[in-house]
Structure 1
Amino acid sequence: MNKHPKPNALIWLLLSVVVIGLDQWSKAWVLASLPEYTAIPVIEGFWNWYRTYNTGAAFSFLADAGGWQLWFFTVLAVGISSLLGFWLSRTARGDWRQALPYALVIGGALGNVIDRQIHGHVIDFIQWYYWPGKEWPAFNIADCAVVGGAIGIALFGLFDGKKKAA
């Protein structure tokens, strides 16, 4: 008995490629157009373009670790992306609630890996305020894809789990 769904959801990797493309295009625009460490208001008091760099992970976790974190986060992202790709191969193509979040995480994770390997850091440029005068740490399109995908995995997993339990 074959346990692999046919056709599988590997076609969703095209979405990962789109995320990587948009992410890298936006970062090329940032490098060519935005000054470093200077807020350019898009919507005053709510949203800035702000070119900065992150050698760590979310919220600059391990940013000052001395350089080893570049390889740690690269191996981690490639490992997680490989695992999600394997899961996509075992997911039915039409199961978008599982395939979509996996593809988003893969695209976002690999977009940031490209930055780490080319520049030695991740390029961040979107800055939002969460309170007057308080900015959220800058992020990028790859980060949005990872967070959106992770939320999708958690939410759809929770709802699917409740459905299967009932």
Structure 2
Amino acid sequence: MTHAKLKAGEVAGTYHVTSPVTETDIITMAKRFARRKLAKGRKITQPSQAFEHLQLLLQDYVYEVFSVLFLDSQHRVIRFEELFRGTIDAASVYPREVLKAALAYNAAAVILVHNHPSGDPEPSDADRRITERLKEALTLMDIRVIDHVVVGSDGCTSFAEMGYL
């Protein structure tokens, strides 16, 4: 796919397709826009602002992926990084590695994110346990866990909105 197929419209955030595109082209373009919305310097005032972008980026994996959105003290994105890959129903997450990355990026806050390949975004008991462990480890270094988002093809579930944080 070439960039020539998409041309900016007169109104901000609108585009014109200048030549025929395939479904794959459209999905590729959408993922590119989603990555841009989670790019360095973007401010996340509400975790729900990132839901649709996270869902687009993570919902198609056939294995679990655990990622972290590292934020500065103003909740601007420092980096969005995939830290762990797992199997169809689990990913091993190591608090030490999450803490190391958060310190390396000088993050003041994080939004934890992982997908459920089954499509069901309902958090499991294991999800709740690892969230508590990560929160404890990160809190020791004054790094806030703003949310843990579980992504499925059926939508996203927010630990913060469910009162789990």
TM class by smaller structure: under 0.3
Q: Which has the higher helix share?
A: 1
Structure scoring higher RCO (CA < 8 A, sep ≥ 6) equals 1
Q: Which has the larger radius of gyration?
A: 1
Using structure 2 for the length normalisation, give the TM-score: 0.24
